[in-house]
Structure 1
Amino acid sequence: MTGPALLWPGAAPDEGDDATVRPATRADGADLAARLTAAVDAVDAPDAVFALSLGGRRLVRSGGTAPSPAVPREELRYEIGSATKTFTATLLTELIGHGAVTGTETAASLLAPGRHEHTSPATLAHLITHTAGLPALPPGFHLRALPAWRTNPYGRYPAERVVETFLRHRTRRRPGTRWHYSNFGVAVLGHALAAATHTPWEDLVRARLLRPLGLGDTALAPTSDGLDATGHGKDGRTPVPGFDAGGFQAAGALRSTPHDLLTFLEAHLRPGESPLADALRATRRPVLRRGLGHRHVHTVAWFRHPVDGAAMYFHSGATLGQQAFLGFRPDTGTALVAVCTRRFRAKDPFVPTAYGLLAEL
């Protein structure tokens, strides 16, 4: 197996500046609306929303197999699961841009200054690129989470346990030598950034990301305002409790409305119009290549696939009862948000439907 080529920090440029956008001419408004509606139907979930931004114009379609909720589906907050990592990565590039961290310091040096015995040499860059040599979940996670596996597994693993397990964990592989997707690693990154800035994670995200980008309908935990969407199990009928990320906030805690998520993606499409311009541009740059011939390309925030000779950026996420897909194409000025309230199942159509739609636009 070919090991990853870690190019941090930003050794390769992105595909172009804000102005290099070719008009998307494949579909008119009526056709786009029909395709979004077809995508909603194809997902076959209790609640589903597909929200598109094309050349600055938004189009939203929603529906579902469940009765319509009291609040329009497109106004509810949805759990975005691992798509939270795109926010965490943007926060990291913002903090690097302002000199709060470099990305090359070890997480252990921030979490436990002066403690060197058996601590991991993994850097912040390794953590965000899933090359820190960590497993997907901490050792002992499943045993601790088992009593609440169908209701609240992550909530049984608080921040203190995530950090202490990381500090005690001996990696089997040297950081930077293998790519392995890790919720554990990105969770540790969140705690390391909080330690570096002496700011609680929730306050750090709100102050450095949500407020500057105008994301007033995005939250880091379940709310009491009645606007959180209700997730469902694989059968599409059984309600599940709201997701509690426990100590894994940076890896999967965010919940947001489709319009807030489109605002986030539009900032990535047109970074020059945002107060976080440099940080947003940095999230586009390839920093990791892996797989046979290093054909799999990643940025700090996004999976990056070639489409029509240009780049498509995307990330998906899932919780116990909801799913999300975020993606954008700078070459056509297109962004797509898709959310639904059903747990991932075998041969699930959600991600393929969203991915395929964005690739075609």
Structure 2
Amino acid sequence: MTAGPAPRVSPSESPPDDGPVLERLAGAVTASDAPQVVFALSRHGRRSVVSGGTAPAPPLDSENLRYEIGSATKTFTGLLLARLIDSGELTGGEPAAALLDGERPAGAHPVTLAHLITHTSGLPALPAGFFLRGLPAWTSNPYARFPPDRVVDAFLRHRPRHRPGTRWRYSNFGVAVLGHALAAATSTPWEDLLTRRILRPLGLDGTTLRADGSGPDAPGHARNGVSPVPAFDAGGFQAAGAVRATPSDLLTFLEAHLDPAGVSPHLAPALRAVRRPVLRRGIGHRHVHTIAWFRHPTGGGPMYFHSGATLGHQAFLGFRADTGTALAAVCTRRFRAHDPFLATAYALLAQE
């Protein structure tokens, strides 16, 4: 483990009598072994935040910076789909190809919006041609070389190997297509759609979909924890991985799932809907999914979680209704094997 400064506790966010919680969070920060780390925990609305890392402290408090959350963006996309279904604007059964190309016949077994969000569309993880096109920027921004029109075109040309709805395969491609289909269905650009329907109602002012200079962004680092990595550009994969947010906003997002009644009445039904299991797979159906979250059992009740990574950041989001606990953990380093950050975050929430 790389030696670095001791974890830094944020007194403004941490109740003074939560010593045991702060000790656990400080241990998690140290175990994560990344340049910048923030563990933000909420229990029954009471927040504790610890930041630190192996790099010198940034000019601004780490918890006030925006972090790239990668695939954890899918939890926002799933909630948006649930919101559009609850409002009656969509059913989830719409063929995605028909929304993206009004002249295209649906076919006998079309890929629907529900297939795309549940990773049962039959689509691969990434579209054909992605690796070849992204190779020149593989260590900087490969997704930026696959813009929205290429994502949509690759989907409309693709022929699934399996009937949609019959097999589970995690797919950034599928959720990216879903974002374009929702934008087409509502005649609203994706960034505006997510902002108007999810970010603004929840008061997530520190959340955006691009590094646009409007707020302080945490710098990303490569696997070695030293080399800087450019800000992530999701290209045509915004719905699958473009969100960047402050730890405070991420906790607010998670707290809304724990207490839907405390947020906008327009969002409450969708927040409840994304906690319902819609898919079970594996031996004994042990792997349970909602339209936004992975769901694992604990001793007291289910734990909902999702992780994500870009080339220079990682994130873990999760919550447990049985303990009223939410955890948002972020770090500025990409791990590839024996990941201490994700293992630490998962264990912390599971044991809370």
**TM-score by structure 2 length?**
0.93
Matched, 1:125 2:108: no
Partner deviation per Cα, 1:301-347 (whole Å, 9 max, x = no partner): 00000001411000000000000000000000000000000012211
Matched, 1:95 2:84: yes
Contact 2:220 2:230 in 1 (8 A): yes
Does the residue aligned with 2:51 lie in a helix, a strand or coil? Answer: strand
CA, structure 1 residues 203+225, in 2 after alignment: closer, same or farther (shift >3 Å)?
closer
Does the residue aligned with 2:39 lie in a helix, a strand or coil? Answer: strand
Q: Select 1:54's aligned residue among 35, 38, 43.
A: 43
Contact 1:77 1:217 in 2 (8 A): yes
Structure 2 residue identity aligned to 1:290: R
Give the superposition deviation at 1:55: 1.1
Give the superposition deviation at 1:226: 5.3
Alignment partners' CA distance in 1, 2:307 and 2:108: 31
Matched, 1:236 2:186: no
Structure 2 residue identity aligned to 1:86: T
Matched, 1:348 2:339: yes
Match of residue 255 from structure 2:
266
In the TM superposition, what are the counterparts of 1:244-259 in structure 2 within 5 Å?
244-259=233-248
Structure 1 residue identity aligned to 2:97: A
Contact 1:46 1:342 in 2 (8 A): yes
Partner deviation per Cα, 1:22-52 (whole Å, 9 max, x = no partner): xxxxxx7211100000000000100000000
In the TM superposition, what are the counterparts of 1:1-361 in structure 2 within 5 Å?
29-116=18-105, 121-225=110-214, 227-275=216-264, 276-361=267-352
Alignment partners' CA distance in 1, 2:300 and 2:159: 42
CA, structure 1 residues 302+60, in 2 after alignment: closer, same or farther (shift >3 Å)?
same
Greater relative contact order: 1 or 2 (C-alpha under 8 angstroms, separation 6 or more)? 1
CA, structure 1 residues 48+102, in 2 after alignment: closer, same or farther (shift >3 Å)?
same
Partner deviation per Cα, 1:225-264 (whole Å, 9 max, x = no partner): 4501100000000000000000000000000000000000
| Structure 2 residues not aligned, in runs of 5+ | 1-16
Alignment partners' CA distance in 2, 1:39 and 1:265: 19
Alignment partners' CA distance in 1, 2:262 and 2:107: 45
Matched pairs, number:
334
Does the residue aligned with 2:200 lie in a helix, a strand or coil? Answer: helix
Match of residue 13 from structure 1:
none
Structure 1 residue identity aligned to 2:72: A
Give the superposition deviation at 1:223: 2.3
Give the superposition deviation at 1:119: 10
Contact 2:278 2:289 in 1 (8 A): yes
Give the superposition deviation at 1:63: 0.2
Match of residue 19 from structure 1:
none
Partner deviation per Cα, 1:78-125 (whole Å, 9 max, x = no partner): 000000000000000000011111100110010001213889711000
Give the superposition deviation at 1:355: 0.3
Percent of aligned pairs with the same residue? 69
Contact 1:120 1:171 in 2 (8 A): no
| Structure 1 residues not aligned, in runs of 5+ | 1-27
Alignment partners' CA distance in 1, 2:290 and 2:118: 8
Give the superposition deviation at 1:272: 1.1
Does the residue aligned with 1:51 lie in a helix, a strand or coil? Answer: strand
Contact 1:314 1:325 in 2 (8 A): yes
Alignment partners' CA distance in 2, 1:295 and 1:46: 35
Contact 2:73 2:240 in 1 (8 A): yes
Match of residue 24 from structure 1:
none
Contact 2:97 2:106 in 1 (8 A): no
Structure 2 residue identity aligned to 1:217: G
Alignment partners' CA distance in 1, 2:107 and 2:141: 31
Structure 1 residue identity aligned to 2:332: T
Runs of 4+ residues over 2 Å off in structure 1 = 116-120
Match of residue 14 from structure 1:
none
Partner deviation per Cα, 1:179-234 (whole Å, 9 max, x = no partner): 00000000000000000000000100110000100000001100214501100000
Structure 1 residue identity aligned to 2:164: P
Structure 2 residue identity aligned to 1:283: V
Does the residue aligned with 1:213 lie in a helix, a strand or coil? Answer: coil
Alignment partners' CA distance in 2, 1:202 and 1:64: 32
